[in-house]
Copies of this chain bind each other. A is one copy, B any other.
Amino acid sequence: MVLSEDELSILKNLGKAGRRIPAGRDLVYQGQSDKVAYILNSGWAFSYKLLQDGQRQILDFEVPGDFLGLRSILLNMSDHGIEAVTDIEVTELHIDELLEIFSQSPRLMLAVLWAASRDDAMIVEHLIDVGRRSATERMAHYLMELGLRLELVGMADRSGFACPLTQYLLADAVGLSAVHVNRVLRELRENGLLTFRDGCVRFDDYVELSRFAQFDETYLDHSGPRFRQSFLAGLGNLREAG
């Protein structure tokens, strides 16, 4: 599902004209209670959870076009923080406004639910990454996933993409040490699979890389939420119950 220009402009006109956050700053703090949503217009960010002992697990990187804070809106998720990787520009959407918009444009709501669904599928895939794949496969798989997501917004193709992530960030995302991330990237480079250098990821052999990482892209390719008449009628009735 791709939103029309009209629909995107609805969202953009609605929010504050574009809030800017500098690199390294938190957009949302873990534990923050006022719920807001954002559309990431430019730059990269990531959502994370802090453990009691100070370790950090990055749940997902966010790239331009992504919705941030979905879980906070649709569901009562355990909370997490969001931090800017680069300078970013976001459109801030207050929930009330957003919900109002949904009532006017069901397609927009479908888009958001679709995004939430994809986020969920990605978390599952990351679970498999850290649970069942070697460090090298894991890194390859992760970077291919990022590439495909960026491809959808025209920021990547099968030859590679610009990537502002540090090896420390990648380490926190895939559950490795930064040192080992470096070794793994070298191995991938020396095997002619992919090159991570100077802020760019280059796929040196996409086909072979795909085989090596067991990358099955179908989990990113959903056709949209599945709703039917009676379900929607039920949702309507929630007005009295919610």
What's the Cα separation between A73 and B104 when bound, in Å?
A: 24
Query: Contact size class for A?
Result: 35 or more
Q: How far is the CB of A4 from chain B (nearest CB, A)?
A: 13
Tell me whether B77 and A117 are in contact (CB under 8 A): yes
In the complex where A228-B242, A239-B229 touch, is A127 in contact with B123 (Cβ < 8 A)?
A: yes
In the complex where A227-B242, A234-B106, A241-B106 touch, is A76 in contact with B222 (Cβ < 8 A)?
A: yes
Tell me whether B228 and A96 are in contact (CB under 8 A): yes
A3 close to chain B: CB less than 8 A: no
Type the 1/0 row for A43-87, where 1 means its CB is closer than 8 Å to any CB of B.
Answer: 000000101110101010000000000010111111010000000
How many identical subunits does the complex contain?
2
What's the Cα separation between A76 and B110 when bound, in Å?
A: 12
Which of B51, B59, B95, B222 sits near A124, CB closer than 8 Å? B59
Chain B residues near A230: list those with CB within 8 A. Answer: 96, 99-100, 102-103
Q: How far is the CB of A94 from chain B (nearest CB, A)?
A: 12
Tell me whether B78 and A235 are in contact (CB under 8 A): no
Chain B residues near A175: list those with CB within 8 A. Answer: 130-132
Stretch in contact with the other chain, from A18-26, A153-161, A213-221: A213-221
Q: How far is the CB of A218 from chain B (nearest CB, A)?
A: 7
A111-127 with Cβ < 8 A to chain B = 113-114, 116-117, 120-121, 123-127
Chain B residues near A234: list those with CB within 8 A. Answer: 99-104, 106, 109
A232 close to chain B: CB less than 8 A: yes
Q: Which of A99, A101, A219, A235 has the most CB of B within 10 A?
A: A235
Chain B residues near A125: list those with CB within 8 A. Answer: 78
Give 26 CB contacts A-B under 8 Å: A51-B128, A52-B216, A55-B132, A71-B120, A73-B226, A75-B226, A76-B224, A76-B226, A99-B228, A99-B229, A100-B230, A102-B231, A103-B236, A104-B237, A106-B242, A120-B120, A123-B124, A126-B127, A130-B130, A130-B175, A232-B235, A232-B238, A232-B239, A233-B236, A235-B236, A236-B236
CB within 8 Å of B: which residues of A? Answer: 35, 49, 51-53, 55, 57, 59, 71, 73-78, 80, 95-96, 99-104, 106-107, 109-110, 113-114, 116-117, 120-121, 123-128, 130-132, 174-175, 214, 216, 218-219, 222-242
